[in-house]
Structure 1
Amino acid sequence: MIPGEYRLMSGTITINEGRPTLSLDVLNTGDRPIQVGSHFHFAEVNSALSFDRRAARGFRLDIPAGTAVRFEPGDSRPVHLVALAGARRVFGLAGETNGPVQG
């Protein structure tokens, strides 16, 4: 092996396979851009984003780890969400959950 060398698998890598998903329309009603990271509990994102927060409880963006989605002011778009895995407990963030998410 050469230091720094990558050894990649051949084929396609599928993320979040078999996990519950949903799509929601999201509108940035604020006057500043808002960026949401891949593992942030989507129901607790910035309050200037308008969408069905109740439906988003227990979900995060269905995007690769370490990436984000940016919403410009007035921007409206659909987002794809995936259910949180593991113990399904959320602490901190906006402080709205601080425990297990239902479902």
Structure 2
Amino acid sequence: MIPGEFILRGDEIVCNEGRSTITVSVLNLGDRPIQVGSHFHFYEANSALQFERELAYGMHLNIPSGAAVRFEPGDRKDVELVPFTGTRHVYGLNNKTDGSLDERVVLSTIGKNLEQRASETKKKETLS
């Protein structure tokens, strides 16, 4: 063995096996690239990223720890999200949560927003 040498297994690294995931389509409306890290609360990602934000509440990218996804201006990408586990507390970032992801006040507000969106979508479909 050479000092500092890494001997890696040939097996694939599996992340978040068996956990539920969702896929969201993300569009960068900004004029600069945006990177989102593996453990960033995706709901709080840069506002220039357009996606169904309420669906991303309590979720982070389903990619290996320390990795990131880069969104170039005008690019659309589908990304897979997975729920946070453990204590499910998020602090900092863009200060939209700052506490438990399971607080009823926050969840009920998101639920109302989703219901309103669904209602608006049904109205648009009826008018078409």
Q: Structure 1-normalised TM-score?
A: 0.90
Structure with higher Rg: it is: 2
- The aligned counterpart of 1:16 is 16
Could you tell me how far apart the structure 2 residues matched to 1:10 and 1:69 are?
Answer: 24
One-letter amino acid of the counterpart of residue 37, structure 2: G
Matched residue, 2:7: 7
Cα deviations across residues 59-98 of structure 1 (Å, max 9, x unaligned)? 1011111111111111111111111121111000000000
Q: CA deviation at 1:46?
A: 0.3
SS at match of 1:85: coil
Deviation at 1:6, TM superposition (A): 2.1
Structure 1 segments (4+ residues) deviating >4 Å: none
Q: How many Å apart are 1:2 and its aligned residue?
A: 4.4
Percent identity, aligned pairs only? 57
51-60 or 8-17: bigger deviation: 8-17
Q: How many residue pairs end up in the alignment?
A: 103
Q: How does 1:1-103 map to 2 (within 5 A)?
A: 2-102=2-102
Cα distance in 1 for residues equivalent to 2:74 and 2:60: 22
Letter in 1 for 2:82: V
| Secondary structure, counterpart of 2:43 in structure 1 | helix
Output one character per residue of 1:5-43: Cα deviation in whole Å (capped at 9) or x when no partner.
Answer: 323334333111112211000011111111111110000
Q: Distance in 2 between matches of 1:55 and 1:82?
A: 11
User: 1: distance between equivalents of 2:39 and 2:79?
Assistant: 14
TM-score for both structures, normalised by structure 2: 0.74
Unpaired runs of 5+ residues, structure 2, are 108-128
Give unpaired runs (5+ residues) of structure 1. Answer: none
Whichever structure has more strand as a proportion of its residues is 1
> Higher helix share goes to which structure?
2
